[in-house]
């Protein structure tokens, strides 16, 4: 019996109790396991679906950078920008955003691993009405997933999300992440088993397939809906695709169409399909929402890391904000640091722990370029037949300056240049200066001091490593790439800028060791202590 038939009471389930029924799986090659959910589970799924459809915005799970302080910043900015402060529930839903934790290993959660447990924490605003926080799980076993979902529910999560997208070897060799897409039948059994046993809704995040040539999303998406997924987020690339090509929004559109055609439950449950990939500006978000038939919401990852106010721009109805360097330094960078101080403690230990998180965030924040709608709003037309051949704005984030805006290197202030510098040491120095600043003015003063003291050397090193592109050469390759999920032992593996610098500089090995040491320390102390 499917999730939908159960909801409608036209099967053998009367909806009178919370106890899940066992799933059925057919031996026919074309059928998949279906979930039998209790009425309260179906109601919870429907409530989550309504929230996603109203909010339309989901902050993607982002290992290592999508931390509680970062999610808090995004959610607070969005709430502040929302047009009304209505107390009506439906308007609250429209004002809020959906946030997802960093990926937690279900097995680690069940073992009470403190690092995994730390990922369950949500900020106050994520717990407030209108917003909605879920925990992403990596698992391939029903019992493990159900236990983890119960733990997440006890910690206050409104839903759990199954990671079926992580492409890195570390995950796939263990049968996790995108490896789950290899067998849609097994995946459907996994999803129906977890959905039935979980006290909170289960959503699923997928890629188009394991490889481009084996893309099977058209089979997987309807199967997931029948298996009880409360929503399906689709990153428009295959696992092997990493970030090499632009996200395929035509495929996302097809996935939504196929869900409507092939899933008997889809129409009854109105299961949200969430599109994900390459959204960097609010106008791209608006366009994807408005012009991708069948999707209910968009999920934003790197765009939020680079412009944490992107949700605010959408919520305000498209009020563009192109902050100056001073504004970014105070209203974004420093505010993020203050969120970290709240989280980690405003003392030497907190500062020490922050070194694991803040420079990574600043690495993304430093990729901000203005990209005004008046200049770039026409790029990447969604309806074009050859949409996927267009280079998304995401590919422009590494250009140092923008001749289209009349920028030259010399026209940028030292502070602006510091906040665009890709050298990792600059990120650490920015973090240290901001941690010590005791006011916005002090923050700007300290950053200006950092710029006058060290910027020239960092820029030279970056130039030597070939990491600055001086104008608008576009490439959809990315430095976010191979190790996006943060599992593979250091962000440098897939980090284009770091790779470049690594080749050109003798510092890479040392830095890798330093990072590994910091990671160990943070895992032993930082994240774990943040649980308390
Ligand atoms: C630093 C980083 C960490 C990520 N961590 C996760 C993760 O833990 N789980 C997951 O499903 N996807 C993860 N992703 C993928 C994103 O959620 C998202 O699907 C992808 O970046 C495409 O969206 P975007 O173009 O908006 O960034 C990560 C991506 C990045 C850049």
Three-state secondary structure readout of 129-194:
CCCEEEEEEECCCHHHHHHHHHHHHHCCCCEEEEEECCCCHHHHCCCCHHHHHHCHHHHHHHHHHH
With the most atoms of ligand 1 within 8 angstroms of its CB, the residue from 58, 60, 247 to mutate is 60
278 CA to middle of ligand 1, Å?
A: 10
Judgement on whether residues 302 and 408 belong to the same structural domain of the protein: no
Rounded mean pLDDT, 291-295: 96
Question: Could you tell me whether strands 273-276 and 98-100 are parallel, antiparallel, or unpaired per DSSP bridges?
Answer: unpaired
60 CA to middle of ligand 1, Å?
A: 6
Instruction: Please check whether residue 20 lies inside any domain of the structure.
Output: no
Rounded mean pLDDT, 404-423: 95
Q: What is the pLDDT of residue 26?
A: 42
120 CA to middle of ligand 1, Å?
A: 18
| Lowest mean pLDDT, pick from 80-84, 269-273, 474-478 | 474-478
Please choose, from the candidates 495, 463, 459, the residue with its C-alpha nearest in 3D space to the C-alpha of residue 480: 495
Residue pair 284/244 in contact by the 8 Å Cβ criterion:
no
Please choose, from the candidates 247, 169, 176, 182, the residue with its C-alpha nearest in 3D space to the C-alpha of residue 210: 182
Rounded CA separation 195/3 (Å): 10
pLDDT of 141 > 50? The answer is: yes
The residue whose C-alpha atom lies closest to atom 21 belonging to ligand 1 is: 301
Judgement on whether residues 305 and 334 belong to the same structural domain of the protein: no
pLDDT of 12 > 50? The answer is: no
pLDDT of 14 > 60? The answer is: no
Judgement on whether residues 271 and 301 belong to the same structural domain of the protein: yes
Q: What is the pLDDT of residue 512?
A: 40
Judgement on whether residues 266 and 330 belong to the same structural domain of the protein: no
Q: What is the pLDDT of residue 3?
A: 55
Give me the torsion for CA of 294, 305, 357, 176, rounded to 10°: 30
Higher-pLDDT residue of 84, 505 = 84
Q: What is the pLDDT of residue 466?
A: 67
Please choose, from the candidates 207, 286, 204, the residue with its C-alpha nearest in 3D space to the C-alpha of residue 245: 207
Instruction: Please check whether residue 1 lies inside any domain of the structure.
Output: no
pLDDT of 413 > 60? The answer is: yes
Share of the chain above pLDDT 70, in %: 77
Residue at a domain's end among 271, 294, 315: 315
Mean pLDDT across the chain, nearest whole number? 83
Rounded mean pLDDT, 319-347: 98
Sign of CA dihedral 370, 373, 376, 382: positive
* Cβ-proximal residues to 91 (8 Å cutoff; 6+ apart), any chain: 84
Q: Two tokens at 361?
A: 């965030």
Q: What is the pLDDT of residue 237?
A: 96
The residue whose C-alpha atom lies closest to atom 9 belonging to ligand 1 is: 61
With the most atoms of ligand 1 within 8 angstroms of its CB, the residue from 180, 289, 301 to mutate is 301
3-state SS class at 60: coil
Judgement on whether residues 180 and 294 belong to the same structural domain of the protein: yes
Ligand 1 atom showing the smallest separation from residue 304 Cα = 26
Please choose, from the candidates 327, 332, 340, the residue with its C-alpha nearest in 3D space to the C-alpha of residue 415: 327
89 CA to middle of ligand 1, Å?
A: 30
pLDDT of 163 > 60? The answer is: yes
Q: What is the pLDDT of residue 108?
A: 97
Ligand 1 atom showing the smallest separation from residue 299 Cα = 26
Residue at a domain's end among 287, 315, 343: 315
Q: What is the pLDDT of residue 85?
A: 54
Please choose, from the candidates 221, 196, 194, 193, the residue with its C-alpha nearest in 3D space to the C-alpha of residue 209: 221
Judgement on whether residues 224 and 90 belong to the same structural domain of the protein: yes
pLDDT of 496 > 60? The answer is: no
| Lowest mean pLDDT, pick from 67-71, 274-278, 319-323, 489-493 | 489-493
The residue whose C-alpha atom lies closest to atom 29 belonging to ligand 1 is: 484
Instruction: Please check whether residue 519 lies inside any domain of the structure.
Output: yes
pLDDT of 30 > 90? The answer is: no
Rounded mean pLDDT, 347-361: 97
Q: Two tokens at 454?
A: 């060290």
61 CA to middle of ligand 1, Å?
A: 6
* Token pair 């929302």: residue: 82
Q: What is the pLDDT of residue 486?
A: 35
Judgement on whether residues 249 and 289 belong to the same structural domain of the protein: yes
Judgement on whether residues 133 and 234 belong to the same structural domain of the protein: yes
Domain extent, residue 424, equals 325-369+400-472+489-531
Q: For 41-64, write each residue's pLDDT tens digit.
A: 999 999 999 999 999 999 999 999
Please choose, from the candidates 31, 276, 44, the residue with its C-alpha nearest in 3D space to the C-alpha of residue 163: 276
What is the pLDDT confidence band of residue 414, given thresholds at 50, 70 and 90? very high
Q: Two tokens at 306?
A: 């680079």
Q: What is the pLDDT of residue 170?
A: 87
300 touches ligand 1 (CB under 6 Å): yes
Instruction: Please check whether residue 92 lies inside any domain of the structure.
Output: yes
479 touches ligand 1 (CB under 6 Å): no
234 touches ligand 1 (CB under 6 Å): no
What is the pLDDT confidence band of residue 5, given thresholds at 50, 70 and 90? very low
pLDDT of 515 > 60? The answer is: no
Judgement on whether residues 282 and 355 belong to the same structural domain of the protein: no
Share of the chain above pLDDT 90, in %: 70
Rounded CA separation 52/97 (Å): 8
Please choose, from the candidates 165, 70, 74, 71, the residue with its C-alpha nearest in 3D space to the C-alpha of residue 363: 70
Q: Helix 508-521 vs helix 496-504: angle between axes, to the nearest 10 degrees?
A: 130
Rounded mean pLDDT, 130-134: 96
- Count other Cβ atoms within 10 Å, centred on residue 409: 12
Judgement on whether residues 500 and 520 belong to the same structural domain of the protein: yes
Residue at a domain's end among 315, 335, 351: 315
167 CA to middle of ligand 1, Å?
A: 10
Residue 145: CATH number of its domain: 3.20.20.70
What predicted TM-score, i.e. pTM, was given to this entire model?
0.86
Please choose, from the candidates 289, 363, 376, 267, the residue with its C-alpha nearest in 3D space to the C-alpha of residue 49: 267
What is the pLDDT confidence band of residue 195, given thresholds at 50, 70 and 90? very high
Judgement on whether residues 301 and 415 belong to the same structural domain of the protein: no
Helix ranges (H only) for 227-309 are 249-262, 266-269, 282-291, 302-306
Q: What is the pLDDT of residue 523?
A: 44
Ligand 1 atom showing the smallest separation from residue 60 Cα = 17
Rounded mean pLDDT, 410-433: 97
Instruction: Please check whether residue 365 lies inside any domain of the structure.
Output: yes
State the catalytic residues: 166
Judgement on whether residues 177 and 299 belong to the same structural domain of the protein: yes
What is the pLDDT confidence band of residue 267, given thresholds at 50, 70 and 90? confident
Instruction: Please check whether residue 342 lies inside any domain of the structure.
Output: yes
What is the pLDDT confidence band of residue 465, given thresholds at 50, 70 and 90? confident
| Lowest mean pLDDT, pick from 46-50, 75-79, 205-209, 468-472 | 468-472
Q: How many domains does the chain have?
A: 2
Instruction: Please check whether residue 484 lies inside any domain of the structure.
Output: no
65 touches ligand 1 (CB under 6 Å): yes
Q: Is 105 left (phi over 0), alpha (psi -120 to 50) or beta?
A: beta
Instruction: Please check whether residue 182 lies inside any domain of the structure.
Output: yes
| Lowest mean pLDDT, pick from 57-71, 74-88, 153-167, 245-259 | 74-88
Q: What is the pLDDT of residue 86?
A: 56
Q: What is the pLDDT of residue 313?
A: 97
Q: For 426-453, write each residue's pLDDT tens digit.
A: 999 999 999 999 999 999 999 999 999 9
């Amino acid at each position: 019996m499917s999730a939908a038939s159960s909801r409608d009471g036209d099967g053998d389930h009367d909806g009178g109790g919370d106890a899940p029924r066992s799933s059925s799986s057919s031996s026919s090659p074309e059928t998949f396991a279906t979930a039998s959910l209790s009425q309260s589970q179906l109601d919870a799924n429907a409530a989550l679906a309504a929230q996603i459809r109203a909010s339309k915005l989901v902050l993607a799970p982002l290992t290592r950078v999508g931390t509680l302080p970062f999610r808090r910043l995004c959610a607070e900015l969005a709430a502040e920008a929302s047009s009304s402060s209505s107390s009506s529930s439906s308007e609250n839903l429209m004002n809020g955003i959906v946030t997802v934790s960093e990926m937690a290993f279900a097995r680690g959660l069940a073992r009470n691993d403190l690092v995994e447990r730390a990922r369950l924490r949500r900020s106050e605003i994520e717990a407030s009405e209108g917003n909605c926080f879920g925990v992403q799980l990596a698992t391939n076993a029903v019992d493990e997933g159900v236990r983890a979902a119960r733990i997440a529910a006890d910690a206050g999560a409104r839903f759990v999300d199954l990671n079926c997208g992580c492409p890195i070897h570390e995950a796939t060799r263990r049968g996790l992440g995108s490896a789950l897409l290899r067998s849609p039948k097994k995946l459907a059994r996994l999803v129906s088993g977890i959905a039935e046993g979980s006290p909170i809704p289960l959503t699923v995040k997928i890629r188009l397939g394991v490889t481009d040539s084996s893309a099977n999303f058209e089979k997987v998406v309807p199967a997931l809906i029948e298996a009880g997924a409360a929503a399906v987020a689709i990153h428009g690339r295959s696992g092997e695709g990493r970030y090499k090509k632009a996200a395929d929004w035509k495929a996302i559109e097809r996935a939504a169409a196929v869900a409507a055609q092939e899933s008997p439950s889809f129409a009854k449950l109105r299961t949200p399909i969430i599109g994900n990939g390459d959204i960097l500006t609010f106008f791209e978000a608006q366009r994807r929402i408005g012009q991708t038939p069948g999707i209910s919401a968009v999920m934003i990852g790197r765009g939020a890391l680079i412009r944490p106010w992107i949700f605010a721009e959408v919520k305000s109805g498209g009020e563009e904000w192109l902050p100056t360097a001073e504004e970014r330094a105070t209203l974004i960078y420093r505010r993020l640091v203050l969120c970290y101080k709240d989280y980690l403690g405003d003392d030497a230990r907190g500062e020490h722990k922050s070194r694991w998180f803040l420079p990574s965030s600043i690495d993304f924040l430093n990729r901000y370029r203005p990209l005004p709608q008046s200049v770039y709003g026409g790029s990447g037309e969604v309806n074009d037949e050859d949409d996927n051949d267009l280079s998304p704005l995401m590919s422009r984030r590494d250009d140092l300056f923008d001749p289209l805006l009349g920028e030259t290197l010399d026209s940028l202030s030292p502070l602006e240049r510091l906040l665009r510098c890709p050298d990792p040491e600059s990120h650490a120095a920015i973090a240290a200066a901001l941690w010590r600043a005791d006011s916005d003015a002090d923050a700007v003063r300290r950053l200006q001091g950092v710029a006058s003291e060290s910027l020239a050397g960092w820029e030279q090193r970056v130039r030597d490593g070939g990491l600055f592109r001086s104008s608008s050469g576009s490439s959809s390759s990315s430095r976010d790439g191979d190790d996006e999920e943060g599992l593979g032992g250091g962000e440098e593996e897939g980090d284009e800028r770091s790779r470049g610098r690594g080749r050109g500089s003798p510092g890479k090995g040392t830095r890798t060791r330093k990072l590994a040491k910091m990671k160990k320390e943070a895992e032993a102390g930082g994240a774990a202590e943040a649980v308390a």
